[in-house]
Amino acid sequence: MSPSWIRLVSSLKRLPGVGPRMAERLALFVLRSSDGEELAQAVLDARQKLSRCETCGVFTEGTACRRCQDDSRDPGVICVIEEVGDLDAIERSGSFRGRYHILGGVLSPLDGIGPGQLRIDSLLKRVKASASNGRSVKEIIVATNPTVEGEATASYLARLLRPFEVRVTRLGYGMPSGASLEYADELTVTRALEGRQELAAE
Amino acid sequence: MSPSWIRLVSSLKRLPGVGPRMAERLALFVLRSSDGEELAQAVLDARQKLSRCETCGVFTEGTACRRCQDDSRDPGVICVIEEVGDLDAIERSGSFRGRYHILGGVLSPLDGIGPGQLRIDSLLKRVKASASNGRSVKEIIVATNPTVEGEATASYLARLLRPFEVRVTRLGYGMPSGASLEYADELTVTRALEGRQELAAE
């Protein structure tokens, strides 16, 4: 096999959820179809133009996303989520009109993901800053997924947030344990938002 | 969502076997990891450097692939396959030392794939040319997959090749090695019975 083919297949194999067979199938596709050129350009374009919103962390063009500039959204409630798919799920439910904060993942020592790899510092700064600029954050809803790592991350955040005068809540038990927020239906997400409970620091 | 994000996700969604959820997951990956840049470059590099070998149709750098230039391979036997993955499978078996011809798919009228979309003309030209240059093709093994489309394509090729003095064969049917009769599907068992062979007493 030629070097360009090997490079292409091994690049595709690094994508999450793509095994050796699928990598070869995708390689053929991007070679045979003009969609291959468009895909490469879309990746380069997105990597050049998109960066995380300085406030909430969603990928956006520019330094501030649409939602963080939307004054109709309550700046007093911040919903902390793992990634943008979770944001989409909550927005689809139509039950939340506050702000978001994307962690970029969850604590997972086995994968080498500690607090430094997540957007936790920026969350604390946000809460601190809100106190001084008079748009005080009153509640932080920790909406990490109900998995072992998601729960551990929630507890960790609750401990960090204890010094601040802010209510820390967790999504309600509308969510079946072990499930992923990204795939939940709208009603389940709505119930989970309504049934949110105090998250006590241990 | 910003235009660059939408463009990226919709490009990824066009990949075979990638649905909307996986497209978002892949989009996040290519944005967050430096592998995203490498992937885009690998696609562009491969699209620029790789093209189908003029003879057999495998993707290669240059106009002729390594195997078509390998004089130790018998030019008298051509194995016709759907795509390069099939070639790899046959090479792994170590049981074939002839040449290959990649169709680039199978006849599938419902998907708009007719003879014009496959590398059938180039196969006929190859057989014709071989007669005049003295390296006559003696046998064509049609190794399309044993699916409805693969069988139809094989029959079609057999009809087209009838005018030539060439033996046209099909891969043997039967039980896959190591399989259990108990769990084999009916068609496989039927084909295995039809293809039964004399068992010589040793």
CA distance A98 to B131: 77
pLDDT given at position B182: 72
CATH number at residue B134: 3.40.1360.10
- Whether residue A39 sits in one domain with residue A71: no
CA distance A175 to A191: 8
- Whether residue A169 sits in one domain with residue A99: yes
Q: Do the Cβ atoms of B100 and B67 come closer than 8 Å?
A: yes
- Whether residue A87 sits in one domain with residue A42: no
- The per-residue pLDDT of chain B, averaged, comes to 87
pLDDT given at position A36: 93
Nearest C-alpha in A relative to B47? A31
Is residue A55 in some structural domain? no
A-B contacts at Cβ under 8 angstroms: 147
Q: How far apart are the CA of B40 and the nearest CA of chain A, in angstroms?
A: 4
Overall number of domains in chain B:
2
| Predicted interface score ipTM higher than 0.90 | no
pLDDT given at position A145: 83
Is residue B57 in some structural domain? no
pLDDT given at position A174: 63
pLDDT given at position A185: 73
pLDDT given at position A171: 77
SS3 labels along chain A = CCHHHHHHHHHHHCCCCCCHHHHHHHHHHHHHCCHHHHHHHHHHHHHHHEEECCCCCCEEECCCCCHHHCCCCEEEEEEEECCHHHHHHHHHHCCCCEEEEECCCCCEHHHCECHHHCCCHHHHHHHHHHHHCCCCCCEEEECCCCCHHHHHHHHHHHHHHCCCCCEEEECCCCCCCCCCHHHCCHHHHHHHHHCCEECCCC
Q: A157 is in which domain, residue-wise?
A: 62-198
pLDDT digits (tens, 9 = 90+) for B101-154: 999 999 999 989 999 999 999 999 999 988 777 678 998 988 888 888 988 998
Q: Cβ B11–A59 below 8 Å, yes or no? A: no
Question: Which residue in the set A3, A59, A183 is minimally distant from B31, CB to CB?
Answer: A59
Question: Which residue in the set A11, A21, A36 is minimally distant from B35, CB to CB?
Answer: A11
- Whether residue A162 sits in one domain with residue A101: yes
Is residue B106 in some structural domain? yes
pLDDT higher than threshold 90 for residue B84 = no
Q: How far apart are the CA of B123 and the nearest CA of chain A, in angstroms?
A: 19
Task: Give the pairing type, strands B77-81 and B99-102.
Answer: parallel
Question: For the residues B160-182, what does the mean pLDDT come to?
Answer: 81
Q: How far apart are the CA of B82 and the nearest CA of chain A, in angstroms?
A: 12
pLDDT given at position A103: 95
Q: Which residues of chain A have pLDDT under 50?
A: none
- Whether residue A19 sits in one domain with residue A109: no
pLDDT given at position B92: 82
Task: Tell me which chain B residues have a C-beta less than 8 angstroms from the C-beta of A83.
Answer: 28
pLDDT given at position A82: 93
Helix (H) or strand (E) holding B130: helix B121-132
Is residue A34 in some structural domain? yes
Q: Is the dihedral of CA B92, B96, B102, B106 positive or negative?
A: negative
Q: Give which of A81, A56, A67, A77 is closest to A157, Cα–Cα.
A: A81
pLDDT given at position A176: 63
Q: How far apart are the CA of A198 and the nearest CA of chain B, in angstroms?
A: 31
Question: Which residues on adjacent β-strands are paired with residue A194?
Answer: none
In chain B, the percentage of residues whose pLDDT exceeds 70 is: 95
Is residue A57 in some structural domain? no
Question: Which residue in the set B25, B36, B84 is minimally distant from A17, CB to CB?
Answer: B25
CATH number at residue A24: 1.10.8.420
CA distance B51 to B117: 16
Task: Name the residue with higher pLDDT: B42 or A131.
Answer: B42
Q: How far is CA A61 from CA A46, A65, B3, in A?
A: 9, 7, 8
- Whether residue A185 sits in one domain with residue A88: yes
In chain A, the percentage of residues whose pLDDT exceeds 90 is: 54
DSSP per-residue letters across B43-87 = HHHHHHHEEE-TTT--EEESSS-TGGG-TTS-TTEEEEESSHHHH
Question: Which residue in the set A7, A61, A83 is minimally distant from B4, CB to CB?
Answer: A61
